[in-house]
Amino acid sequence: MIVLRVEVRVFSGLEKFLPQKRFGEPLPVELPEEGTIKDLLHKLGIPENQVFTILVDGRHQPLDYTLRGGERVSLFPPVGSG
């Protein structure tokens, strides 16, 4: 089985799902080939509804985006304003 590796960073409260990581700290994650952002969130235990913005190498991507490996994935929750 081919495995791909990405670097994940979580921000603005999403780090609560990864107690071993701090805000913005890189986390290497391995996924099977053809893994998507949705697969990544499932593996990390982050509910989809907690993620509003997904950046892959600085570009917005949807949940069904297929990762290629070697990419940097940044995850952000919805941000309220008032």
34-66, pLDDT tens digit by residue? 899 999 999 999 999 999 999 999 999 999 999
Question: Within a 10 A sphere around the Cβ of 72, how many other Cβ atoms?
Answer: 13
Q: Give the CA angle between residues 22, 33, 9 to the nearest 5°.
A: 15
Look up residue 59 and give its two tokens: 């570009």
Domains of the chain: 3-76 (3.10.20.30)
- Laid out side by side, the sheet with 27-32 consists of 27-32, 3-10, 72-76, 53-56, 59-60
Which band of pLDDT confidence, cut at 50, 70 and 90, is reported for residue 81? Answer: low
The model's confidence at residue 1, banded by pLDDT at 50, 70 and 90, is low
Is the separation of the CB atoms in 3 and 33 below 8 Å? Answer: yes
